[in-house]
Amino acid sequence: MRLHLVPSERQVEALAREGQAAKTLRELVQELADAAAAGRDRAGPEVTRLIAETISPKPDLAELLDAGLGALRKIGVGAKQLAQLPGTRARLFGQTLERADAALAQAQLRDERGDVWLAASSVSSASLPGISELWVVGWARLGAGELTLLERLHEELRQRGGGVSLRFPGVSGDESRRAVESEQARLEARSAEHNDAPSVLRDDDLA
């Protein structure tokens, strides 16, 4: 069975009217992360900002630290990696990240900005039951976490005789085409590093 991953709920509804299974990438990330979170609920921006205020060495740094921790979580950088870097800024963020993680754990919460990495680590034979093909609309720029998740899913779906395909929609106009081609080239370069990577296709090429 094929599952489409699309950017918006409107596209999910449109595919559902055609009898095709679909969900948003965000929805998939949340489902996989929730299943792997061992009962820890998601902490949204209000909660993470409050935690930053309680652990910040200076109150006026709270907003900056919260934004910085969010950026680090999105790219999958943790306290261990920061500890290997020189400089007071790396040390500040590393120590703050450890305190934030401790506060979240005590409250049985997790920072939702790191959910994509939690989702990627949870992929197993039990993930996406009944699904063998995953078609991902590659219109938005995919970050390192999203790409890692899709690569893990591709490995699993290959065991079922399918895999993951990143598909770029047809575009009009030179500017739009250049943007799509640039992103397609970036993903193809990343795929070249793997022996068996998700396919990268453009609908124009399939017409």
Rounded-to-10 torsion of CA 48, 51, 52, 54: 170
Q: pTM for the complete prediction?
A: 0.83
If one counts every other C-beta atom within 10 angstroms of the C-beta of residue 103, the result is 18
**pLDDT score at 203:** 62
* pLDDT at residue 187, rounded to an integer: 66
Q: Which residues of the chain have pLDDT under 70?
A: 139-141, 169-188, 190-195, 197, 201-207
Angle ∠(50,145,137) on CA atoms, nearest 5:
115
Given the structure tokens 């770029």, which residue do they identify? 168
The pLDDT of residue 67 is: 96
Count of alpha carbons within 13 angstroms of residue 33, beta-carbon side: 23
pLDDT value, residue 153 = 95
- Tell me how far apart the alpha carbons of residues 98 and 153 are, in angstroms, rounded to a whole number: 29
Mean pLDDT of the chain: 87
Determine the pLDDT at residue 91.
92
CA neighbor of 98 nearest in space, from 117, 77, 67: 77
Which residue in this structure is represented by tokens 């261990």?
80
CA distance 110 to 147: 21
